[in-house]
Structure 1
Amino acid sequence: MSVVIVIPARFASSRYPGKPLAMLRGATGRTASLIERSWNAAQAVAGVDRVVVATDDRRISDAAGAFGAEVVMTSPDCRNGTERCAEAVAHLGIAPEIVVNLQGDAPLTPAWFIEDLVAGLRKTPEAELATPVLRCSGRMRADLLADRVAGRVGGTTAVFGAAMQGLYFSKEVIPYAARDYAPDEPTPVFHHVGVYAYRPEALQAYPGWPEGRLEMLEGLEQLRFLENGRHVLCVEVEARGRQFWELNNPEDIPRIEAMLAEMGEA
């Protein structure tokens, strides 16, 4: 088996309890849950052998089963989505070449983001984890900054070196830029897209590493790789005219519904 997508989903989110079951209205007026829209995004990816939802909550399992998803029940002790993916793959008893973690709060993730991510990891044998980054327009950067001013945790940003090796990820907007940008102007800020592609050996090792200080401060699971000296590859992806946003807070629902309508997503 080559590529498996795991969609980790938990009910007990501290910022937004029950988030995977939040309903989102599409362009046609049809409503579907966040977990169903994330499942549909995974189904659109080429070259994937299997897609599973990994959860510790029967409500999510029942909802996912109702729309035809394969579900793996995992422990409530998983501290984040990466640990949940590791447990799910172990339960399945499979040995894929690459495991993709498509987090259940990213229903707007285009298929080519994941396809480019998998291709990037295959071309970079020294990398153990790959994750996409999207250059922010002035509009997206302003949205991220507005969330921070309002006291909301919005998207995550990433900085990386010349060889695209990840240096740091933060819920603050980094790097700092002293000027404003026009809405359609490219900026030096890269939005980290919440998708990961792991080599199975690194994924299975991850739960055994202690939570890092920076990981706990930022609440970002990928920092455990950096704090353990692992090679994280950032893969720049192109929006191709698509808007992208993750559902982090209840206030994000109108924003995502507007994007679904603008893109004509049912």
Structure 2
Amino acid sequence: MRTVILIPARYASTRYPGKPLARLRGADGDKSLIQRSWEAAQAVPGVAEVHVATDDDRIRDAAQAFGASVVMTSPDCENGTLRCADAIARGGIEADLVVNLQGDAPLTPAWFVSDLIAAMEAEIARGDEGADVATPVVRCDATTYRHFVEDRQEGRVGGTTAVFDAKGHALYFSKEVIPYIDPAKRDAAFGDVFHHVGLYAYRPDALRAYAGWQAGPLERHEGLEQLRFAENGRRIACVEVAARGRVFWELNNPQDVARIERILLQDT
């Protein structure tokens, strides 16, 4: 199965303008967010191609400077999924499976992507009974759960949580911390909260269909692109992946730079 990874990146982030070019210090030196995300994608075995998908010349120039392949996309893409769909169409990219590794997730371990690809290959093998999209979830540890709660208490939009049914199919995704846990029980129950990883694997036909749908109310309110699949009746498989002691966090706000740098300095 021919798998292609796309890294959608835009400059005009509302919460953090210029985010893909933000500098992150690690044990291997000072690198941009987009370079660290590209290196995370390059570490995944068995992938045919990796491309940065952007509409911004500054991101294109920075990516090409460190050796990345770049596909220029429309400035009208509202989210990373639409940017991936546009990149496939404009770039003439052929794939049996398209992986969206978002450009703000440099801490994504290679095994997250490999496990996701394996799960989506199994879904494709099930034909019409399988999911159209797969996305990883990580069971929260105490540190990640604390970050979720602190962000919401301080009015920041942090990571995303997911809830799913007994078959692993998504019920809902939210930027709130779901399910709600009574504060008196949090020390024992935080492991029932799943952190959604900003990573997707799509059937190409589902990705093309997505581009023809309008955003629904859930997507508009939450600002979560994957809800468009759910609102149009497409199955999303939530694939639990093992953290293996690795703290995972996306760069959502300027305050996250220090969090991520601490991890990079420890783990790189």
Settle same-fold status: TM greater than 0.5: yes
Assess if the C-alpha contact under 8 Å between 2:145 and 2:190 holds in 1: no
Shift of 1:182: 4.0
Assess if the C-alpha contact under 8 Å between 1:8 and 1:103 holds in 2: yes
Q: Is residue 111 from structure 1 mapped to residue 110 from structure 2 by the alignment?
A: yes
User: What aligned pairs does 1:106-185 form with structure 2 within 5 A after superposition?
Assistant: 106-124=105-123, 125=126, 126-178=130-182, 179-182=184-187
Shift of 1:95: 2.6
Shift of 1:186: 5.6
Shift of 1:91: 1.5
Secondary structure of the equivalent of 2:250?
coil
Distance 2:92 2:64 in 1: 21
**Letter in structure 2 aligned against 1:120:** A
Assess if the C-alpha contact under 8 Å between 1:139 and 1:182 holds in 2: no
Assess if the C-alpha contact under 8 Å between 1:100 and 1:197 holds in 2: yes
Assess if the C-alpha contact under 8 Å between 1:138 and 1:181 holds in 2: no
Q: Is residue 244 from structure 1 mapped to residue 248 from structure 2 by the alignment?
A: yes
Structure 1 residue runs of 4 or more that deviate by more than 3 Å after TM superposition: 179-183
Structure 2: where are the runs of 5+ without partners? none
Assess if the C-alpha contact under 8 Å between 2:107 and 2:248 holds in 1: yes
Match of 2:43 in 1: 44
Match of 2:199 in 1: 195
Shift of 1:180: 4.3
Distance 1:43 1:94 in 2: 17
Distance 2:169 2:6 in 1: 24
Match of 1:22 in 2: 22
Shift of 1:165: 0.3
Secondary structure of the equivalent of 1:187?
helix
**Letter in structure 1 aligned against 2:219:** E
Match of 2:235 in 1: 231
User: What aligned pairs does 1:61-140 form with structure 2 within 5 A after superposition?
Assistant: 61-124=60-123, 125=126, 126-140=130-144
Shift of 1:177: 1.1
86-95 vs 104-113, which deviates more? Answer: 86-95
**Letter in structure 2 aligned against 1:12:** A
Distance 1:33 1:95 in 2: 28
Assess if the C-alpha contact under 8 Å between 1:158 and 1:174 holds in 2: yes
- Which structure: greater helix fraction? 2
- What TM-score, normalized by structure 2, do the two folds share? 0.95
**Letter in structure 2 aligned against 1:26:** G
Aligned length: 262
CA RMSD of aligned residues (A): 1.2
Assess if the C-alpha contact under 8 Å between 1:158 and 1:191 holds in 2: yes
**Letter in structure 2 aligned against 1:106:** A
**Letter in structure 1 aligned against 2:65:** A
64-73 vs 115-124, which deviates more? Answer: 115-124
Assess if the C-alpha contact under 8 Å between 2:157 and 2:252 holds in 1: yes
Shift of 1:137: 1.2
Distance 1:27 1:144 in 2: 26
